[in-house]
Structure 1
Amino acid sequence: MSESEYLEAYDPRAFPAVAVTVDVVALTIIGGVLHVLLVERGEPPYAGRWALPGGFIRPGEDLDQAAARELAEETGMADRVHIEQLASYGAPDRDPRMRIVSVSYLAFAPDLPDPQAGSDAADAAWYGVDRLPKLAFDHEQILGHALERARSKLEYTPLATAFVGETFTISELRRVYEAVWGAPLHAPNFHRKILSVPGFVESTGETTESGGSRGGPRARLYRAGDARLLHPALLRPEREEEIR
């Protein structure tokens, strides 16, 4: 049988139906606290419950396009967002409607605006990751994996620069690490470590216009460097204790 004959005779209905969705874990920092975007479901299943933004992929749409579209529909956000694929979830009973496999994405951006719920959501809001409502489906598991991915990536990649503007101070970068890791860091030690990592940040040659609310000296401004991996890595405080 030729390939064309095989494809002509092929019947996809001979196999159980499986749908594919995308779910997006969008993280930002508000008031020094790590927040995640949640939407209130406007229809069953789990109507009235909070969930990660997401939905079914459309015909002719690939996974990355679907994730970007869902994020834009729920929030109006399209620019300044770093987005990457996280993992896939396919437990047979994860959705009561049918067998649905979800491909999850992780998104980061600084100073994100108040979200606007899409057409299939009743509401959308930023929630501090330490004060979350009970989530629909298996979204608590997905969020847990996403937070661990984000915390780990801050150790060995320059991901923290995705949470700040094009130029930033070392103090602003430190506050990103403190928010994502959920732990205070020693400012002088952090400053020394950041500048010791080749290619992590580079000086702009400029300073802030003022020394801040306390009237101190003006701080130097930096931009992201060209490093893709950090060597040496910046370890979380608890991991440093494990190594000692």
Structure 2
Amino acid sequence: MARTIRAGRLRSVAVGTGLLVLAGALALLPATGASAHDYLVSSTPAADSTQTTALSKVVLTFDDRVLDLSGDGSSNVVIVTDAAGKHFETACSTIADTDVSVPVALGDSGRYTVQWQIVSADGHTVANSIRFRYDRPQSAPVATGAATRPTCGDQAPAASSAPVAVPSASASAGAASEAPAVTSTLEATGSASAPSSGSGLGIALGVGGGIVGLALVAVVVVLVRSRPKGAAPAREE
């Protein structure tokens, strides 16, 4: 009788322990979702859109605040280039909570690429890019562009930033069709090694699943070992 009571208590303790471990693992999931890397939720201009009015700045809006580790905005980089790789950002980027903006002076009509490298709220570096098309209004000026981006903080450009002459409209069209893909300046600064936005969440889910699995195995082992051995069958009245 005492052995049966003891086995029942062991089973109760094992089940209770398993439930507590499961609840703890599930409680970790919302926290891991909150610590995921920032991602772009909107932009001006929008991705793959056509800008038909003069543009003075590009604004990127993220799902969470962007960190300014340097204090002068240089820890976050936004560049705007055309098909030939010329830069059209006129100053360093600025941060306002979830918004990162950079002033621009665009050149002639064509496709432009916005590339960024930011420090997300969880402290990790995130890099990505979008493209848009610019149909320059007749009244809008045509900027010359530059060979490199502006110097921001201690981030010195690799080459001279002397202005680049604006080619004719026909030459621009030819460059847009024949120029190779724009080489990312951000990759040269090490952004290519930035972790993907879903890596932290995937690891946490894997750890949580492992904990739950081990808890279930432990419960089964305790239940098996606590089963009475050689118990006499019930007597018939």
Which of 1 and 2 has greater Rg? 2
Q: Which has the larger share of strand?
A: 1
Of structures 1 and 2, the one with the larger relative CO (CA 8 A, separation 6+) is 2
Range of TM-score over shorter length: under 0.3
State the TM-score, normalizing by the size of structure 1: 0.20
State the TM-score, normalizing by the size of structure 2: 0.20
